Chains A and B, each alone.
Chain A
Amino acid sequence: MSESNILSPGPQTNDGSKKMLIAMVGIGVVCALLIVFSYEGTFGRIEKLKAEALEQAVFKVLPGITKTGIFELTPDGKFIPSDGKDRTKTLVYAGYDDQNSLKGIAIEASGQGYADILKVLYGYDPATQTIVGFYVLESKETPGLGDKIEKDENFLANFNGLSVALSEDFTTVINKVVPVKFGTKINPWEVEGITGATISSRAIGNIIGESTETIIPMIYQQQESFKSVPKPATK
């Protein structure tokens, strides 16, 4: 080895730092541009796909509907027709059959899962006061294990007639939806878990429990506002 150190401080240091700075800033700018371009390029399509997936999901959780209408929750607790563009508001999706009669309402809910926030959609039928369908919109649960909440038939059967009956004055859910262990479901308001996806399935039970507790009494009391198909109804 020679005595001269490549990194030795000296007249080159300033030059070296400048080079480093230029390289890092240059690469940073190019990378930022690439990311912005690909974001801009895909944004429209991603939003479109997500909206399509949501619409398909509404049809999945409310069996027998042919059209849907979007409603938003105003700060004073009223449901009014909405164009659904402002995703920061609480939106619900009413489903109607061919005769334009209300078949049910799809509600979005979210909460902490095993890996990340879980986003789900469930269908509520005010006539029978039950949950009639369930679909996972967004999940990062472990493939093969936690993602059973989307596929396990036994688990999905929980959401066919899950009771959310209201008290006599229609202000509270009598029995809050609760998760129970696999094989111990007795009551119609219990969500039976999955072996191998304990945390994820319990999370779903809790998410639905929390969501129904607050929103179901509001929806039930305002059923009239959903009765007619809103103007910008989507087919």
Chain B
Amino acid sequence: MSPEIKNIGLKETPTSTDEFIKGLWKENPVFVQVIGMCPTLAVSNSAKNALAMGLATAFVLVMSNVLISSLRNFIPKQVRIASYILIIATFVTMVDYSIQAISVDLHKNLGAFISLIVVNCIILSRAEAFASKNTVWKSGIDGLGMGLGFVFALFCLGSVREVLGNGSLFGIPVFPESFQEWIVMILPAGGFFTLASWLLLFNYFKLKKAKS
């Protein structure tokens, strides 16, 4: 996806790259929109879990966006939410089976959270706010951007929590033996602390940019 030079200056028609960057950064689902908090706080206690959960969600997001967008003229608006949930639930079930088929251990770690992707509001909000109004290509790009934005956010939280709470990253120790782990970081409270710190950092940069 190379930036399309001819479109520079025409802000009304965002390019595919804009749609992609939007989810990753400007409208990051976790750090800017602050939605999808349940999985964000729950499975971000280690970098590996965060990454796996993020990728599973991103896959569901892209697939459901594409399918919903391609059916947007076929689904009557009275039953759209029911149809979206049906489509999202289907992809989540497929992801659930695939993860089981990839590794029993990984499935054991993510446990109940995989099935909870169905009710992740990032996915439903993208379906309702974007995919139902835009072309298949744009919806796919939007899903990919938002999905990777979610992966990025989960990884930010997961890595910090694992490093401080367990003294390791991806299970590999990063501190000397004498390091006293901050158990609170892998407990639910640690999730809130870490999220708050990241939000603080992001808003600080945003304000600074706005001022200059």
What residues make up the interface of A, taking CB atoms closer than 8 Å to B? Answer: 7, 16, 19-20, 23-24, 26-28, 31, 34-35, 38-39, 41-42, 45-46, 49-50, 53, 115-116, 138-141, 143-145, 147, 196
Contacts and interface: CB of A to CB of B under 8 A. Distances in A.
Interface string B180-212: 000100110000000000000000000000000
B43 interface: yes
Interface in B6-58: 43, 45-46, 49
A17 to B, nearest CB: 9
Contacts of A141: 111
B76 A16 contact: yes
Given A19-B76, A38-B93, A49 B100 contact: yes
Listed residue (A19, A46, A50, A196) with the most chain B CB atoms within 10 angstroms of its CB: A46
Nearest to B94: A38
Contacts of A147: 109
B43 to A, nearest CB: 7
7 contacts: A23-B76, A35-B90, A38-B98, A42-B100, A46-B100, A143-B43, A145-B186
A31 B86 contact: yes
B112 A27 contact: no
A196 B183 contact: yes
Range of interface residues on B (Cβ < 8 Å): 20 to 34
B164 to A, nearest CB: 13
B45 A144 contact: yes
Contacts, number: 78
A90 B165 CA distance: 41
B76 A143 contact: no
Interface in B67-99: 71, 74-76, 78-79, 82-83, 86-87, 89-90, 93-94, 97-98
B46 A28 contact: no
B1 interface: no
A114 to B, nearest CB: 11
The secondary structure that dominates the B interface is helix
Contacts of A41: 97
B44 to A, nearest CB: 10
A144 B46 contact: yes
Contacts of B46: 143-144
A31 B64 CA distance: 11
B129 interface: no
Interface-central residue, A16, A38, A144, by most chain B CB under 10 Å: A144
A24 B83 contact: yes
B93 A143 contact: no
Contacts of B5: none
Given A143-B43, A143-B45, A20 B97 contact: no
A28 to B, nearest CB: 6
Contacts of B186: 144-145
B172 interface: no
Contacts of B79: 20, 23-24
Contacts of A116: 111-112
A31 B87 contact: yes
The 6 closest A-B pairs by CB, nearest first: A31-B90, A140-B111, A42-B101, A144-B45, A144-B186, A38-B94
A27 B71 CA distance: 9
A178 B133 CA distance: 60
Contact of B104 (A26, A38, A49, A115): A49
